[in-house]
Structure 1
Amino acid sequence: MNKRVEFPRLFLFRSTLRWLAVCSCLTVLVIGGCAPKPEPQLEPMFRPLETAEAQKVVRLLDIKAQGVTSWADLQPAVERSLAYVTRRPADGLALDKYGRKITWGQLESTLHLLLGLLPRLDAEPELLAQYFTLLRLEPQPLFTGYYEPYIHASPERTAAYPFPIYGKPADLKTVRLEQFHPRWKGEVLTYRIEGDEILPYFDREAIDSKKALQGRGLEVAWVQDLADIFFLQVQGSGRLIMPDGSEKHVLYAGKNGREYVSLGRVMKERGLLPQDGISMQSIRAYLDAHPEEERELLNTNPSYVFFRISDDGPYGSINQVLTPWASLATDRNTLPLGSAMLFTVPRPLPATPEQQAQSGKSYVEVPFGGFGLAQDTGGAIKEHRIDLFSGSGEQAEFIAGHLAAKGDVYLLIPKVEE
């Protein structure tokens, strides 16, 4: 049941919005007047490839490196995207950027055509270049990775499992600001109400160190290490291994709306990690070696994610189960949810002792070309950045922790629709 907001709260809420608008204008005036002119950048665009160029891209694809033996194995993943796209208005715009307009109907046609071609692509991969226009996103996007971590957990608090994973609190509220003014289109305000005040929701320090949510019955599970919760929040989902050996999926349920601050960047600026040696693994190794610093370091990222327990998953933003090596988290305004694409990117793999001695790095990069589906989003995934879902397990964790490279992505659109 919706709780009626009394007049003083509503008045304060509207006053807060007006204050935000004034601050926004002052920021433009102050910063815009003092900041130096930015360096000229390459014009962003979706550049259509000629057929010969598209054929070269297709020849780089290695479907087996995506963990499947045949293109036909990708049928369930394509059908999941289709289920999302068909719920959208066919004549509505899925993409309106860089002078390129694409409707949901065009994306639906792409997915239907792909389903028809999948049985033939093992023998004739060149059909992708024959039937589709490949729109190359320029400049190159940055590829990073995420995975589904395994975490030892307990349904109850014990001495061995003292740290709670919280479910979404009932007092966490959100409102879409565009209903108040068009300048805030796409902006969401996350807040809580305390007395007659509208306040930002509790940050990480308030939740984990000051116990702001303790005693509300929000705990969905308990874990051994505070850092387990932190890295689970970075990934957005995971698998809990219970004391009896059973497994449960723990899935994203919401967030506190605070700014995401990169812990790796903070540690680099403090000189705690080498400039060229920042990875999820190196961060975790430092925290394990310096437990007395763990809580303060984790609190430098005020963003906080809440979870729910499920028997299956993980789910992406299209409310469908993700597919390892094929599901991508994208900025929906740049690469629309449900869209299909080809991509090439250097993939990190563990280095042999000889390779590590020669390069000084724990990994080597090997060419990787695959087929992808925009099925997820992320708070840090903006504009030309793509997050590749690598699944679960040690290899998935290694790649997700080390992948940070520029690559190429090619949005697929049927030629008959052009």
Structure 2
Amino acid sequence: MRPGPARRAMLGFGDLDGWAGDDHAGALEVFRSTCDLMAGPGWAWAAGLARDVRPGAARDFFERAFRPVLVEDGGPALFTGYHEPELDGDLRASARCPVPLYALPPDRPAETPWLSRTEIEAGALAGQGHEIAWLSDPVDAFFLQIQGSGRVRLPEGRVLRLGYAGGNGHPYVSIGRLLIARGALPADRASAEEVKDWLRAHPGERADVMRANGSFVFFRVLEGLPPGAGPLGTLGRPVTAGRTLAVDPAHVPLGAPVWIETDGAEPWRRLMVAQDTGSAIKGARRADIFVGTGPEAGARAGRIRDGGRMVVLWPREAGPT
């Protein structure tokens, strides 16, 4: 079912399953990290109120300052996970590291689709000085683009932090769904890790499958990020593992607290903060949970593909929703 017009329903905090057991102080700290960037009725008021709240009063703050609002659009709810990959690479091309990661070319047109993934991988940008770093594995490079940020470990031990800089304007296509449709993977075994395994086991088909996703992502080097900080989200601030949610800003304001309930293998009952977006995140009931950095986080993120619901906390001072 395709999403339709958004519908909003007012709830009470007693309607949120697990609300009383969450770490509201942890959620408040993450909300504070970006709430100063929010605009619109009620949000500046809520941000100002949050500044002086003691950790022990965090739950009371959320209940006094916000109203839970369920936003639906007729589409199915879907929660997925994302992470910050950590990969071996180099600043120079070599037989070990032949796969380039590109900076955003300055002549890339902003309003129209540009070079396709097929054209770029065939060398349309080669030798123009846009290469940032090089990886050993085209599958790793492909999934780094899906995640939108990552860490590249260089031979001398330095770590290069990369963030999303832009795309080529082509729509994102899920190759997991493509492999399911072809019968290459069963629907219950199409996690990111299993898709990676399939691509590596089928090198002759790999390029064509990956090129079915015409979306190509460019990166920028992130300077000055502390090693313990997450990657930068859409709001330009580091995201937080287990608390940051990527959403569709057409339905959920960036910076808003969002309560999520999922019932997969790893159930979530948690107050998140909408601090990021993604090309595949479209609709009022679609969200991506940031779970952390490195291969273990990647495996965990790849297992999240669950239904559920999300409830936006709307400032009481904003008036009727």
Give the 3-state SS of the residue equivalent to 1:173 in structure 2: coil
Separation in 1, partners of 2:13, 2:259: 15
Q: Which residue of 2 aligns with 1:80?
A: 33
Tell me the alpha carbon deviations over residues 339-364 of structure 1, each in whole angstroms, 9 at most, x when there is no partner: 112222235xxxxxxxxxxxxxxxxx
Residue 133 of structure 1 pairs with residue 57 of structure 2: no
The answer (yes or no) to whether the contact 1:137–1:408 under 8 Å persists in 2 is no
Query: Deviation string for 1:3-42 (max 9, x for gaps)?
Result: xxxxxxxxxxxxxxxxxxxxxxxxxxxxxxxxxxx89x99
1:17-416 correspondence runs (5 A): 44-50=6-12, 52-53=14-15, 57-59=18-20, 61-63=21-23, 71-85=24-38, 88=39, 104-117=40-53, 119-121=55-57, 125=59, 128-138=62-72, 141-174=77-110, 189-190=111-112, 200-208=113-121, 210-311=122-223, 312=225, 314-346=231-263, 365-383=265-283, 384-415=285-316
**TM, length-normalised to structure 1:** 0.69
Structure 1 residues 116 and 57: CA distance shift in structure 2, 3 A: farther
Matched with 1:182 is none
Could you tell me how far apart the structure 2 residues matched to 1:43 and 1:261 are? 23
* 3-state SS of paired residue (2:184): coil
Query: What is the distance in 2 between the residues matched to 1:143 and 1:118?
Result: 31
How far is the alpha carbon of 1:283 from its aligned partner?
A: 0.6
Q: What is the deviation of 1:296? A: 1.8
In 2, the alpha carbon distance for the partners of 1:366 and 1:295 equals 33
In proportion to residue count, which structure has more helix? 1
TM-score (norm. length: structure 2): 0.88
**SS at 1:105 equivalent:** coil
1:79-101 residue CA offsets vs partner (Å, 9 max, x unmatched) = 3322311xx3xxxxxxxxxxxxx
Please give the alpha-carbon distance, in whole angstroms, between the structure 2 residues aligned to 1:253 and 1:43: 30
Deviations 1:230-262 (A, max 9, x none): 000100001111112221111111100012111
8 Å CA contact 1:143–1:404 kept in 2: the answer is yes
Amino acid at match of 2:270: G
Shift of residue 46, structure 1, vs aligned partner? 2.0
State the identity %: 32
Provide the C-alpha distance between the structure 2 equivalents of 1:113 and 1:343, rounded to a whole number of angstroms: 23
Between the aligned partners of 2:77 and 2:53, the Cα distance in structure 1 is 27
Q: Distance in 1 between matches of 2:70 and 2:256?
A: 14
The CA distance in 2 between the partners of 1:379 and 1:264, in whole Å, is 15
C-alpha separation in 2, matches of 1:160 and 1:42:
48
Larger radius of gyration: 1
Task: Determine the structure 2 residue equivalent to 1:180.
Answer: none
Distance 1:372 1:120 in 2: 18
Question: Which ranges in structure 2 are unaligned for 5 or more consecutive residues?
Answer: none
| Larger relative contact order (Cα-Cα within 8 Å, sequence gap ≥ 6) | 2
Equivalences, count: 311
SS state at 2:69 partner: strand
Task: Work out the CA distance in 1 between the residues paired with 2:4 and 2:123.
Answer: 48
CA distance in 1, matches of 2:14, 2:212: 50
Aligned partner letter, 1:81:
T
State the one-letter code of the partner of 1:298.
Answer: M
